[in-house]
Amino acid sequence: MKPENLVNVKSLLDWYDAHARIMPWRVSPSDRAMGIVPDPYQVWLSEVMLQQTTVAAVKSYFIAFMHRWPRVEDLADAKDEDVMSAWAGLGYYARARNLLRCARVVKNEYDGVFPSNQEDLLKLPGIGPYTAAAIAAIAFDQPATVLDGNVERVMSRVYAVLEPLPKSKEHLRGLAKALTPAERPGDYAQAVMDLGATICTPRSPNCTACPWSKRCKAYEMGIAADLPKKLPKRAKPTRYGHAFILRNANARVVMERRPEKGLLGGMLGWPGDTWAEVQKPSDPPIASAWTTATNPVIHIFTHFRLELSVHVAKADKDMPLLENFEWHDISDVRGMPTVMQKAWKAATAEFGDLG
């Protein structure tokens, strides 16, 4: 049974025409009305970057990627280590690996042209249902149902859905699908996400400024700020590990390239051990006089909390290393994941200049 359309899509599009967020990857509604269409490459790149990451955090990365790799073919031809380094600090590094895989498939199997339908988009590496729908709607103006956290929140409030997430997800998808229009579906997808991001916010929603408040069931019932309900989260387990920072007098440090598969796959990191749920000592991977930092580095991943003990030593020169270790300039620390940069900052804060 098709759900009742409580709200008017045109009122949301009118609001979007006046209040659309300005983003470096977005074609404004006024430009789109003049026939300017989005670049599917830019839409795809931004959507991958935005997965579990804020717009504010993504903007500078997006601009840097576009300056360095302006076309999907350019990204496909890039060196893996260059892309992983450029991604450093953005987190969820499997996205960067899938970014390269997808770019190469688009170049080699689709002649550099992204497919325009969800079915073919879903066949590309790293593209799931949400991203496929977002690309189809925003880049190709197809009436695809886009359901991210913002849209889930808007739907749960408009229809006063009391069942908690994630159990209510498919119900909310059905409600979102019923509202998706045949006219201007790309603008609508961005409008409903903007509404959730700027007006229908998780805390203290600005209902008086919302174009849908008069027909919103949760607003009528006075429970908008309480929705969507969510099942309690499980406490994150703690894992323990060690990081060994060996530097020399020439401002060079030893790094290792992490395995392609697994957490932080393909990224540069400090030599260390496997992060385990039991705290235990670790033998240094390189013989030297090691000093341990007073406090461990704490870093929160999606599924666990990490306590990383940091150890520092100094070598006189670029001594020979095992095959998986490399000497790098200290400037390469900027290309390391956030947790590895934290270890470096902790070491320099306690032991001073490590150059």
- Give 199-223 pLDDT, tens digit per residue: 999 999 999 999 999 999 999 999 9
Between 19-33, 83-97, 187-201, 308-322, the lowest mean confidence (pLDDT) is in 308-322
Q: Are 109 and 102 in contact (CB under 8 A)?
A: no
Between 39-43, 172-176, 249-253, the lowest mean confidence (pLDDT) is in 249-253
Taking only the tens place, the pLDDT of each residue in 18-36 is: 999 999 999 999 999 999 9
At 251, which amino acid appears?
Answer: A
The Cα–Cα gap between 305 and 303 comes to 7
Q: Mean pLDDT across the stretch 312-341?
A: 83
Helix (H) or strand (E) holding 307, with range, is: strand 305-315
Q: At what angle do helices 185-198 and 9-19 cross, to 10 degrees?
A: 70
Taking only the tens place, the pLDDT of each residue in 107-164 is: 999 999 999 999 999 999 999 999 999 999 999 999 999 999 999 999 999 999 999 9
The per-residue pLDDT of the chain, averaged, comes to 92
Q: Are 316 and 249 in contact (CB under 8 A)?
A: yes
Bridge partner residues of 268 (DSSP):
257
Q: Mean pLDDT across the stretch 89-108?
A: 92
Q: Is 59 helix (H, G, I), strand (E, B) or coil?
A: helix
Q: Which two tokens stand for residue 249?
A: 């007098």
Residue 3: pLDDT over 70: no
At 204, which amino acid appears?
Answer: S
For residue 162, give the nearest of 94, 103, 224, 211 by alpha carbon: 224
Question: Predicted confidence band at 88 (pLDDT cuts at 50, 70, 90)?
Answer: confident
What is the predicted pLDDT for the residue at 4?
65
Taking only the tens place, the pLDDT of each residue in 237-248 is: 999 999 999 988
Helix (H) or strand (E) holding 255, with range, is: strand 252-257
The Cα–Cα gap between 216 and 206 comes to 13
The Cα–Cα gap between 111 and 118 comes to 18
Tally of residues, the chain: 355
Question: Predicted confidence band at 350 (pLDDT cuts at 50, 70, 90)?
Answer: confident
What is the predicted pLDDT for the residue at 284?
87
* Better-predicted residue by pLDDT, 48 or 314: 48
Angle made by CA atoms 114, 87, 68, in degrees to the nearest 5: 65
* 109-135 burial code (b ≥16 CB/10 A, e <16): eeeeebbeebeebeebebbeebbbbbb
- With the C-alpha atoms ordered 122, 196, 226, 6, is the resulting torsion angle positive or negative? negative
Question: Predicted confidence band at 355 (pLDDT cuts at 50, 70, 90)?
Answer: low
Half-sphere CA count of 247, side-chain side, radius 13 A: 22
At 69, which amino acid appears?
Answer: W
**Catalytic one of 4, 47, 81, 183:** 47
Q: Mean pLDDT across the stretch 309-324?
A: 79
What is the predicted pLDDT for the residue at 62?
97
Known catalytic membership, residue 47 = yes
* Better-predicted residue by pLDDT, 50 or 251: 50
Under DSSP, the state recorded for 209 is G
At 29, which amino acid appears?
Answer: P
Residue 101: pLDDT over 90: yes
What is the predicted pLDDT for the residue at 266?
81
Q: Is 313 helix (H, G, I), strand (E, B) or coil?
A: strand
Find all residues with CB under 8 Å of 96, minimum gap 6, and list them: 83, 84, 87, 90, 266
Between 37-41, 51-55, 140-144, 226-230, the lowest mean confidence (pLDDT) is in 51-55
The Cα–Cα gap between 42 and 61 comes to 12
